């Protein structure tokens, strides 16, 4: 079981900011053929658009114009292939859904590559902008779309922020049965 928790601690002082909510992820499921790993190994300053918490501060790709929140899901890959990142929330909201990039509960798709003119820095990022994420089962879908002029398999890096902890794994996607991977967890 993977557990991610934000600072809780003592009761707040009068006039002090309330403690951050606790985010605890359990029943973490990685796609078949992959192993869920702690994505953070300090390698120096944060590098942009690689879906890795390079500086181990609990935030993926910060300082790169990629919004974050208590929950953040980031996918990065090279080449011109279309790879899609979709989040299914406990209430079965899908991000994105059609042309909508936000949900009423506070999840947002910030970037959709290569459609958003990503200039070869393909990254898709979904984040939660509230202070108390919905509780229940989440599923993140990673799906290979059009290859365009890329040759399979397509290698992608998936990173997830669950509270102040980051996890991730490398996936390979090919047309057919290997075109879709799922990551799941409960809050």
Q: Tell me which residue of 139, 111, 115, 107 sits closest to 123, measured CA to CA.
A: 111
* 94-95, strands of its sheet edge to edge: 26-29, 180-186, 137-144, 83-88, 94-95
pLDDT at res. 28: 84
Domain-wise residue ranges, the chain: 26-186
CA pseudo-torsion sign 172, 177, 179, 182: negative
Percent of the chain with pLDDT over 90: 41
What pLDDT band is residue 53 in, cutting at 50, 70 and 90?
confident
Is the pTM higher than 0.85?
no
123 pairs with which residues across the strands?
76
State mean pLDDT over 102-129: 86
Q: Token pair of 37, please? A: 């790993």
């Amino acid at each position: 079981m993977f557990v991610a928790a934000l600072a809780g601690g003592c009761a707040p002082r009068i006039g002090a900011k309330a403690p951050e909510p606790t985010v605890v992820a359990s029943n973490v499921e990685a796609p078949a053929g992959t192993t869920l790993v702690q994505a953070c190994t300090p390698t120096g300053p944060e590098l942009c658009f690689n879906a890795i918490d390079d500086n181990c501060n609990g935030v993926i790709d910060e300082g790169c114009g990629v919004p974050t929140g208590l929950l953040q899901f980031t996918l990065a890959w090279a080449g011109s292939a279309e790879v899609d990142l979709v989040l299914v929330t406990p209430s079965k909201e899908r991000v994105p859904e059609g042309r909508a990039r936000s949900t009423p509960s506070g999840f947002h798709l910030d970037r959709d590559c290569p459609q958003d003119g990503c200039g070869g820095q393909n990254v898709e990022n979904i984040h939660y902008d509230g202070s108390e994420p919905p509780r229940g089962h989440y599923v993140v879908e990673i799906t290979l779309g059009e290859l365009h002029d890329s040759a399979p398999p397509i290698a992608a890096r998936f990173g997830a922020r669950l509270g102040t902890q980051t996890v991730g794994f490398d996936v390979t996607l090919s047309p057919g049965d290997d075109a879709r991977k799922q990551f799941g967890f409960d809050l």
